[in-house]
Amino acid sequence: MGCRMPRTSKGSLPSYRLHKSSGQAVVTLTDPSGRRHDVLLGEHNSPESRSEYLRVLGEWEARGRTLPSSDAHAPDLTLNEMLVPFWEHVEGHYRHPDGTPTNEQNNFRYALRPLREMYGHTAAAQFGPLALKVVRQRFIEAGLCRREVNRRVQKIRQAFKWAVSEELIPSSVYHGLQTVEGLKRGRTPAKDHDPVGPVADEVVDKVLPHLNEHVCGMVAVQRLTGMRPGEVCSLRMKDLDTSGAVWLYVPPDHKTAHAGHRRVVRIGPRAQAALRPFIEGISPEDTLFSPRRMWDAKRRRMRAQRKSHVPPSQQDRRKPKARRVPADAYDSHAYLNAVRRGCEKAGVPHWHPNQLRHSVATKIRKLYGLEAAQVLLGHSRADVTQVYAERDESVAVRLAAEIG
């Protein structure tokens, strides 16, 4: 059959037309490799061929304007060839409402990297449970904890599940990978981290002198509101309702936004006082905490404290094409690294910002009960809150002393 493709403008649909040599209706579509194929639809101008045209075109659109590869179930479809369209799916699906990529893209990238390195040129249909265990062993040897190993293995399974749904590989491949159970605690060489818990106030206080004012502000706000690290990093004036005695912050994107849950953070007077120094002089679109503004303020202070005359050549020493420039906003990783460096300078055990959320939850649960902690943290289920809010063991000790 010929592979002629009618000229169509970008976004238009391939046309229904006559295949002269057979007298049938035909439409020309592309496969994952970009090759064009004629798809015969039946007797030209018949109702059946018109219906077949709509069906074939609908499936082509659903696959991202591509036909299933003619070699999809053949031994020569490699893992690399399978992962190319899957990665297009990841980049298109895992995005915030503003179009920026979510952290899930990096999670897939780290999980699929050893898969590509070790099995990229092997047949996707031949990748089975033993091969998955070999990739899992690579994660273990890299020093990843048990939970992270299981999480990355699940990402690999997810890639194969998607490939089955697109009819790129047989369903038996994915079903075979499901037989590989997750690593169990105490039955694997992969290390287990202790559960995340609250961090003591005195430990946090020792680190504060070693943090810049913006990171200190984020720590203070988290300690008073129980925000997630990502929420405090993305806090903007446009997302704050300051009309009431208690301010309301509605994050534009948060951990459970994809599930349709609405998150509202209540900001009381003490947290408002911690935020006010960062509100002055910024636009509604700016984040309140910014590495760029922090460095600009630091340079101004250094210039004001300078006692010698500043020659014209040193009025602005910033490189016009610097390879690294301060970001406009913190992200969770930059926040975590700033706290880690502060812990090292203070000589205290390393803690991370999410532990501040655990600390707030534990205090609220002790004073006001589990339901209050659930509302503060924005959880839909109390069992999730219990992971963050530790029980007050002093109650059990007192009861044991009285009745035991």
Lowest-confidence range among 49-58, 114-123, 233-242, 379-388?
379-388
Lowest-confidence range among 20-24, 50-54, 175-179, 397-401?
397-401
Rounded-to-integer distance, Cα 339 and Cα 212, Å: 10
Q: Which residues contact 326 (CB under 8 A, 6 or more apart)?
A: 290, 291, 292, 294, 295
Q: How confident is the model at residue 113 (pLDDT cuts 50, 70, 90)?
A: very high
Q: Which fold has domain 201-303+326-388?
A: hpI Integrase; Chain A (1.10.443)
The pLDDT tens digits of the residues spanning 334-346 come to 999 999 999 999 9
Give me the DSSP letters along 169-216. S-HHHHHHHTTSPPPPTTSSSS--PPPP----HHHHHHHGGGS-HHHH
Q: Residue 110, Cβ neighbours under 10 Å: how many?
A: 15
Q: Which of 229, 246, 247 has its CA nearest to residue 237?
A: 247
Mean pLDDT across 219-235: 90
Higher pLDDT, 101 or 162: 162
Mean pLDDT across 102-120: 91
pTM for the complete prediction?
A: 0.61
Rounded-to-integer distance, Cα 93 and Cα 89, Å: 6
Q: Where are the domains of the chain?
A: 1-67, 79-177, 201-303+326-388
What average pLDDT does the structure give for the chain? 81
The pLDDT tens digits of the residues spanning 360-393 come to 878 777 777 766 666 666 655 545 445 455 555 5
Q: How confident is the model at residue 226 (pLDDT cuts 50, 70, 90)?
A: confident
Count Cβ neighbours within 10 Å for each residue of 64-96 and write b for 16 or more, e otherwise: eebbebeebeeeebbbebbbebbeebbeeebee
Mean pLDDT across 338-358: 92
Mean pLDDT across 130-135: 92
Higher pLDDT, 120 or 33: 120
Q: Residue 102, Cβ neighbours under 10 Å: how many?
A: 14
Rounded-to-integer distance, Cα 27 and Cα 67, Å: 12
Rounded-to-integer distance, Cα 277 and Cα 363, Å: 27
Give me the DSSP letters along 370-385. HHHHHHHHT-SSHHHH
Give the residue carrying structure tokens 């059946």: 48
Residue 192 has pLDDT above 80, yes or no: yes
Residue 235 has pLDDT above 50, yes or no: yes
